[in-house]
Amino acid sequence: MTKLISFQFFVLISFISYGQTLNNLPGENEAFKKQIQSISNNPDINDDSAYNILSNWNQYPIIKDTKKWYLFLYKDSVFGTIPLKIYIPENYQNNVPSPAVLILHGAVVLSSFKDAYKDTATDEDLFYNYFSKQNFIIIRPYADSYGPNSDGKINFDWVVNRFNGRGDRNKTNPTYQTLVAIINQLKQVLNINDDKVFAFGHSDGSDGAFALEIYNPSTFAGFVIYNSMLTTISSHDTYLRNTLNRPLYLVHSDLDDLRPIQQTRLIMKILDSLNSPVLYKEYIGYQHYDKHLQIDLPYGYEWMKGISRNPFQKSITWEMSDPNYSTCDWLRVTQFDMALEKNQWQAELNTKLYNKRDKIYMNDLYYDLNKSIAVKAYYNNNIFEINSSQIKEIELFISPVMVNLQNPVIVKVNGKEVFNKKITADKTFLLKNFTSTFDRKALWVTNIKIKTN
C-alpha cells in the first residue's frame, strides 16, 4: 500500500527553479506546524473555532517569481523520490486560492523520471501551454515504467497495472494513491482551490485520468479526457458505477486508429444507462492526435469553469475489490466479505471488446473482472440511507455542512434503522483528517462506524 501523507506537519519539499533555487519556500512549514499544535493544545479553541480556523487557513509562502516551471520532489514509500514539474501561473497570489490541473502525459512507455530534470518537448505541450495562459497551477508528473528510457524497476505507470500480477489480482495500481498524495502535499505550500482541482489527459494520459475517477475521485472536481480507452491495461477492477460520483468531459475522434470510437460508443451506452454525469463529444474526420484537440480545448476549459467539486453530494455509489481504494467523499468501506450474498442491483457492468482489425465485437472488454462489493448511500435532513452488498462495516464522515449536529443523526441500512443518536464534533478527529489531506473544504468533524451485516 502506498503511504500517503504522514500526519507530521513538516514537509520535505524541494521547489527548484531551473537554474535557480527558491529559498523563500522552506523545507519545513514551521508556521503550519506551530499553528496546528496551538489549535490542538489550546482549550479555548473549541470544535467550532477549530473548524473556522482550518476552513479559512491562508498561510502560504510568497512566490515572487511566477509564470514559470519548478521542480518538485515527492518522497513515496513505494516509488521512491518522484520528480514533477509544477507551473506557477502569472497571477498566482499566496492569499488567493488558484485552480489546479493534473495533466497526465501520453506515450507512457517512452517516459522516465529523468524527463522531469530537463526541458522536454512532448505532444502534451499543447495542453500545458493552453492551461498556463488560463492561470492554472499545472501539476506535471512523469511516468517511469518499462520503456527504453527507464530501468524497469519503478513501475510508476498510470496506464498499466504492474502490481496485480504478483499473487494478488485484487491489487489496484498504487500510482493513483500517490498522485493524490502529491496533490495533498502541494496544498501545504501552494494556495490551491480545493474545489477546482481537475485531472486531464490525452491517450495514455486520459486512461490515467479516467482511472482516478474510478478509483480515487474525492480530491477532484472533474475529469477531462481525450481519446481514452476508458480502462487500464491489466486491471481487473474497472467498475463503471463509480463514474456516478464526478462529472466527466469525454471527447473522441472517429479516425482514431489506436482507440476505436466503436468501443467508446459501447461504453457510453453503459454510462448513459447509469445516468453518469458525462458530457460526450465526437469529432468526425480526425485521428488520434489531431487538430480536434486544439479545436476543443477552449470548450473543455469552459466546461471546467462551470464545474466545482461538491464533497457533500447527497448520494454516493461505490464499488471496489481492493481495500486500499475504499473511500469516496464522506463514505468509506471498512470491512467486507465477498462470501456474503450479493444484492441483485450489483450486477456486473461489462460490454463487448471491439476488434478494430477484423471489425467485429468479441469477448468482454473488462476481461475477467474481480469479484466486488458495492454500496449506495444517500442522506437528507440528518437521515442516511445505506444499501449495501457484501459489506460488513462502513464509516460515515460527518460535516456540519451536511447535518445539523443539534439534532440526532439516523442511519438506515437496507431499510433497517441501526443508528439514532446525537453526535458531537471531535477536534482531534478534525485535525487528524485535515493534516492528511490539507483540504480546507472537505472538513470532517467526526465519524460514525456502522455495522451493515
Residue 280: which H helix or E strand, with range? Answer: strand 278-283
State the average pLDDT over residues 337-346.
92
pLDDT for 19 beyond 50: no
Asked which of 11-20, 143-152, 167-176, 439-448 is least confident by mean pLDDT, the reply is 11-20
Q: Where are the domains of the chain?
A: 15-305, 315-451
Residue 16: which pLDDT band, with cuts at 50, 70 and 90? very low
Half-sphere exposure of 310 (CA within 13 A, CB side): 12
Reported in sequence order, the residue ranges of 337-406 that DSSP labels E, i.e. its strands, are: 352-355, 360-364, 373-380, 383-389, 391-398
What is the CATH T-level fold of the domain 15-305, as seen in this structure?
Answer: Rossmann fold (3.40.50)
- pLDDT computed for residue 24 by the predictor: 37
**Better-scored residue on pLDDT, 231 or 34:** 231
Dihedral-angle region of residue 24 (phi above 0 means left; psi in -120 to 50 means alpha; beta otherwise): alpha
With both helix axes pointing from N to C terminus, report the angle between 47-55 and 427-437 in degrees, rounded to the nearest 10: 20
Asked which of 29-38, 99-108, 310-319, 378-387 is least confident by mean pLDDT, the reply is 29-38
Give the model confidence (pLDDT) of 389-443 as tens digits. 999 999 999 999 999 999 999 999 999 999 999 999 999 999 999 999 999 999 9
Q: Which of 435, 333, 438, 446 is nearest to 399 (CA)?
A: 446
pLDDT for 258 beyond 90: yes
Give the model confidence (pLDDT) of 62-85 as tens digits. 898 899 999 999 999 999 999 999
State the average pLDDT over residues 191-205.
98
- pLDDT computed for residue 29 by the predictor: 60
pLDDT for 13 beyond 50: no
**Better-scored residue on pLDDT, 148 or 419:** 419
Burial (0-12, 13-18, 19+ Cβ within 10 Å), 409: buried
With pLDDT > 70 as the criterion, what percentage of the chain qualifies? 92
Half-sphere exposure of 302 (CA within 13 A, CB side): 6
| C-alpha 139, offset from chain centre | 13
- pLDDT computed for residue 166 by the predictor: 64
